[in-house]
Amino acid sequence: MPKINRSFISDRLLPAVSIESLIGQYCSDLKKKGSNYMCCCPFHQEKTPSFCVTPSKQMYYCFGCHEHGNALDFLMKIRNLNFVEAVEELARFAGVEVEYDGSADNSAYTDRYKRYYELMDRCAVFFSRTLFAPQGRKGLEYFQHKRGLNKQTLMANRLGYAPEGWDVLRTEVAHNAEEYALLQELGLVVKKEDGRSFSMFRDRVMIPILDKRGRVISFGGRTLGPEEPKYLNTKETPIYHKRKELFGLYEALRDNNNRPSRFVIVEGYMDVISLRQAGCTYAVASLGTATTEEQLQTLLRYAHKIVCCYDGDKAGRNAAWHALQTVTPLLKDDTEIRFAFLPNATKVDPDSLVREQGLDAFEAYLEQSLSYPEFLVQHTAEQYNRSDPAELSQFMAKALQLIAAIPLKPLQAVTLKILSQYCDIDTLQLNEMLKTQAVPSQESASAQSEPEDLALYSKSAPEEKSILNTPMRKLMAFALQQPVVVAAIYQDFRLDYMLRLCEQLKLRGSSELAEVFHLIRDNPKITPAAFIEITRDTPKEKLYRTLIDAKLNLRSEQYLQQDEQQRWLFLRIASFAQTLTEVLSQPFVQRIEELKHTEDAQENYAELLQLSSKFKQDKLPHF
């Protein structure tokens, strides 16, 4: 991918963007309220505006769904762009030219990928046009009569037909030899060892596969006769990686304003298309592989609830079990994973179900789906004869091993409760057994992989309550949220000297504080949005974002009384000064507490008395 010059983003691009104008293009109800702007959130359904845009910070925040970020984050979420695409789109909006690292190479890269997408789109147009031509009649009959698809669905999904013939793409799509060679790279033309080549798809109905931006990146082709394989997909290409893509994701995001209430994962292309025709806007399918971690991570970015819907036969249940094992490390407190199984005896699939009984019948199965804990215990129990004491013991051991891998304690507790019903053993006993299971938690693993400096960010407690529980964290949060205030008093408050004091006192977090302060000193106009770009895709990005969003209990300018508005800067400076005092006095206050609890108080009495008199609340040092 082309590399963007990072300093260009923070120094030139973001300052040139009016974030309220950008967001106003997508949110027509955006209205000025004091110094900020408010509207209904574009990322979730709501009636009362809770989406706040703050021009002074170049940031937005939703008090409802907690989406937040800068202009680039907004574009990536609202348009499903990757980082480079968002930068280029934002640069066009701001009227500035993107600065790349190694611009010549990036230009060649960009041109090549544009040609890839153009050729794939041209193929889709050809296949679609052929479907409605006389030579595509049997493909049209298959879709309309065997699958029950109407013309609107055929056109909306860009369905098509690849005619018979070994060389149709050379004559109908490629304009020259170079484009024909690119079709080989895209998997639509196969070249044999003897140098001859032929079209990958012949006499098949064609189903385009789109990326999150709605661009054609691959095709699935289904045979109309007895040939094998029944379904044939293009190979992995520079623009198509099947482990990362999901069929139907683009339409699901488009039709639900990027925030569907849930996703349902089904097994096939036609399941998704038939469900969509019936009115289901949240169905997706994996692409010829079992559901992958990358696919599940993508879905969980947009919705917290996923229902995995499979056939009720052994293959379907095994696919569901694989999905459960894959999603386990990704579970979070607000994640809900469920498993729905269609009747095995009647060979029902979502496609035939909605055509014969309607969408309500399909959604009824979704409502009867098993929760994650229920399916974990049920599926494990099916592998053992629990009436045999030896196998019951093996079942319990296996179930406890699986439960120990769950990264959430509350979910572990719920699963233990269900397990107790299967083995008739008290939950407390099972919990004691669970404690013997040695499975390293994700939290400890991730903590070990981070630099020691980042201990400033605590993962051991809920973020809202723990992140500002030390003066140093409050000071960091203040500086990241109010850099204009810090810049205004940097020299008067002798902040470089203050940083040296922090280092001499060996205060935890001093290095991170120095980094933030120096960025403000060297760039007095820096904004919270720029801090995000400086740390994007680095280990410190999560820390900075969390501190930028933390509640400092500073009254917003728009809520200040008339006389207070004139003192806005003074009020912030006063708050900053108090936090500085708390940071520098913390080691002395801690030493006082240590001395109070020593056994030999007489020996330490003189030091305790001296420190106490120096650091009484009304005698704390002030800046």
Smallest Cα–Cα separation from 472: which of 579, 546, 548?
579
pLDDT at 600: 58
pLDDT at 580: 81
Cβ neighbors of 95 (< 8 A, separation 6 or more) are 16
SS3 content of the chain, % helix, strand, coil (to 5): 55, 10, 35
Give the mean pLDDT of 515-532.
Answer: 92
Q: In which band, very low, low, confident or very high, does the pLDDT at 501 lie, cut at 50, 70 and 90?
A: confident
Give the mean pLDDT of 561-578.
Answer: 68
**Spatial distance between the Cα atoms of 305 and 302, rounded to a whole number of angstroms:** 9
Domains located in the chain, CATH noted: 6-94 (3.90.580.10), 107-233 (3.90.980.10), 249-368 (3.40.1360.10), 378-434 (1.20.50), 453-619 (1.10.860)
**Spatial distance between the Cα atoms of 434 and 587, rounded to a whole number of angstroms:** 40
Kindly state the greatest CA–CA separation across the chain: 103
**Mean pLDDT over all residues of the chain?**
85
DSSP string, 201-259: --SEEEEEEE-TTS-EEEEEEEESSS-S-SEEE---BTTB-TTT--BTHHHHHHHTTT-
| Cβ neighbours of 330 (radius 10 Å) | 15
Does residue 450 surpass a pLDDT of 50? no
Q: In which band, very low, low, confident or very high, does the pLDDT at 452 lie, cut at 50, 70 and 90?
A: very low
Does residue 462 surpass a pLDDT of 50? no
**Spatial distance between the Cα atoms of 193 and 261, rounded to a whole number of angstroms:** 50
Q: In which band, very low, low, confident or very high, does the pLDDT at 320 lie, cut at 50, 70 and 90?
A: very high
pLDDT at 440: 46
Question: Exposed (0-12), middle (13-18) or buried (19+): which is 334, by Cβ within 10 Å?
Answer: exposed
- The residues pairing with 60 across neighbouring beta strands, listed in sequence order, are 53, 69
Does residue 1 surpass a pLDDT of 90? no
| Cβ neighbours of 339 (radius 10 Å) | 26
Does residue 615 surpass a pLDDT of 70? no
Does residue 166 surpass a pLDDT of 90? no
**Spatial distance between the Cα atoms of 348 and 340, rounded to a whole number of angstroms:** 13
Whole-model pTM: value is 0.72
pLDDT at 467: 73
Phi then psi dihedrals of residue 518, to 5 deg: -70, -35
Query: What would the pLDDT profile of 573-599 be if each residue is shown by its tens digit?
Result: 888 888 887 877 766 656 556 655 665
